[in-house]
Chains A and B, each alone.
Chain A
Amino acid sequence: MDAEPVPEVPSRAVVVGGRRRPESLPGAARRIGYLYVAPAFILYAAFNLFPLAQGVNVSLYNWDGITPGTWVGLGNYAAFFTDPAIREGYVHVLILMFFYSFMPIVIGLFLAALLSRIRIRGLTFYRMLLFLPLVITDVVTALAWTWVYDVNGPLNTVLKAVGLGHFIPAAGWLGDFNTALPAVGVFGMWGEFGFCLILLVAGVMKIPASLYEAAWVDGAGAVREFFAVTLPGLRYELQVVLVLSVIGTLGTFDEIYVMTSGGPGTATSVPAYLVWRRLFQTGQVGSAAALGIMLMLIVFVVTYGLNRLMERGAQE
């Protein structure tokens, strides 16, 4: 069916800290290699590596972006332990991870286990629909959900119809201090679950049928079959969705900007949004740089840690 040569590309998610690290570079010794790499490297160095070094430098200053800055050493990093706004941002991101990462994976696993291993007709079509939330521009999907949560929107219409109208917050779902963050979270859950489902169902299809037969012969019930066959068989897929969704959540910005602007108050403020605000609105440029560098370090540690964790789990 699919006769094209498909390159065996490992996911970028498992490169850092994963055992699937690029093997030693093959090929002949060729100086001309520099010429092929140079154009990309120059651009990459100028707009990624060099600014990264500059960012580290800026992060060591107390700077408003206009007047000369004053050296504060690691002061902007120490603020991670003292500045409640930063701590709050990371707490919010952790809460969002429950919605953006944990829930979609649980839903995906549950459905992958429930769907029996038979061909579904028109699967391509359903897959396309399930992919839409991920493909369509964030700003568009965030606006769609702003409408879902609108005073007269579908969510409130349903709640009123079933007599639960009194649960609707007076300030609206995105305007209430208690519901704004979970409301953004549900949006993220919607954005991720189709992707998880497709990846995990595809993973289940790849598990050899003989393993399921063996479990059946052993008299394993559905639950034991899930833990003995399905879950271990999905290790690689789980590693990919876990790493990608956690990294993605750490960088959440677009939907916060569109749906809540970090509000009400700072109820939905997240690290990436703080970087933007401190760069442009509050004149804390040095702190903004430190926030960005810290975010990168956290992404690095989380990626490395998750990959190691998942692989250790596999060896046991």
Chain B
Amino acid sequence: MNTASRTQVTLNYVLIIVCSLVAVYPLVGVVLASLYPSGPASAPSGFALPPSFNWHNYVSAWEQGGFAASFTTSIIVAAVMVPASVGLSILGGFAFATMRFRGSKAIFYLFILGLIIPTEATIVPLYYDVRAMGLLDTYWALILLETSGELAFGIFWMRAAFLSAPRSLLEAARIDGASSWRTLWQILVPFARPAILTLTVLTFADSWNEFFLALVFTVNHMTAPAGLASFSGRYTTNIPLVSAGAVIVAVPILIVFIIFQRQFMRGMLTGAVKG
């Protein structure tokens, strides 16, 4: 078998550690930069610790960047759109996985089409539709568009998850005379819990990271990334302050990623890459 020599083992570790450092360096650099004295004169070079740890940059960035408001938007939008899109995906995925009805195949393919419709293809009419509905610069614009934008993937994902349930589970439910509603919630949903958790985590990440929709549809109700972009536009030369803002916006997604690492990896490696 593979008798890995010492040099091979060392080489493996060196390679993987170097790659990890490359991946992490710009991010660590930003954390260090965020602690330099605020102002244009103190741009950090990236290889030294700051002369003093200016934690106050975080307070200044939070206040001057209006992050209290943009975090509120991001949290409200995610709190509504994540359960909504996951819930609707469960319902739809269930029907496509366990039922046959006239046109079911065609409708399923219409959803699949959504996997490759880029936002750019619909954004122009959507802007005027949303304006006509009086929803420009509201939470609802982002909630409705983000929810519908996740449905194609969500239904695709949940259908596959329910299809992987053993036939015997469904047979048993049928013999017991369970309604479709009970079969879904008492048998299939508990079975598919890992897949649902993965979908939930990915949907949250998509919502938190959403930038294009926020840029187009909001002015005063910007999400955290859009608020950060506008903040960085106003303070281009103040690297420590902008860096502190960037770290603030990264923290929530970082926490979710650390807690739900396995779900993230599984979801992303099976194809749900952001964008």
Contacts and interface: CB of A to CB of B under 8 A. Distances in A.
Contacts of B19: 111, 126, 130, 193-194, 197
B246 A140 contact: yes
B270 A300 contact: no
A254 B211 CA distance: 7
Nearest to A41: B107
Interface string A1-23: 01011111111110110000010
B148 A253 contact: no
Contacts of A13: 271
A143 B253 contact: no
Contacts of B216: 276, 279-280
A108 B151 CA distance: 31
Specify the main secondary structure of chain B where it touches its partner: helix
A292 interface: yes
A137 B253 contact: yes
B29 interface: yes
B152 interface: yes
Contacts of A78: none
B274 to A, nearest CB: 7
B124 A143 contact: no
Interface in A61-113: 65, 111
B273 A195 contact: yes
A197 B92 CA distance: 34
B110 A131 contact: no
Nearest to B28: A144
A7 B195 contact: yes
* B47, B147, B155, B273 — most chain A CB neighbours (10 Å): B273
Interface residues of A, number: 118
B4 interface: yes
A58 B124 contact: yes
Given A12-B153, A135-B253, A48 B228 contact: no
Size band of the interface chain B makes with A: 35 or more
B108 A25 contact: yes
B189 interface: no
A141 to B, nearest CB: 7
A248 interface: yes
A144 B29 contact: yes
A233 interface: no
B246 A143 contact: yes
A29 interface: yes
Contact of A47 (B29, B110, B126, B224): B126
Contacts of B105: 24-25
Specify the main secondary structure of chain A where it touches its partner: helix
A288 B124 contact: yes
A251 interface: yes
A143 B261 contact: no
Contacts of B88: 39-40, 43
A173 B47 CA distance: 19
8 contacts: A6-B266, A8-B164, A27-B99, A36-B94, A118-B8, A129-B24, A131-B257, A147-B26
Contacts of B226: 139
Contacts of B275: 247-248, 251
Contacts of A32: 99, 180
B15 interface: yes
A207 interface: no
Interface in B142-182: 144-145, 147-149, 151-153, 155-157, 159-161, 163-164, 180
B58 interface: no
Interface stretch (A152-160, A224-232, A308-316): A152-160
Given A32-B180, A292-B120, A157 B46 contact: yes
A153 B43 contact: yes
A150 B180 CA distance: 59
A193 B124 CA distance: 33
Contacts of B94: 36
Nearest to A52: B122
A152 B29 CA distance: 13
A31 B211 contact: no
A168 interface: no
Contact of B261 (A128, A138, A139, A147): A128
Contact of B120 (A8, A127, A295): A295
A192 B98 CA distance: 37
Nearest to B208: A137
* A44, A123, A247, A279 — most chain B CB neighbours (10 Å): A44
A136 interface: yes
A52 B129 CA distance: 12
Contact of A12 (B30, B147, B272): B272
B112 interface: yes
A275 B124 contact: yes
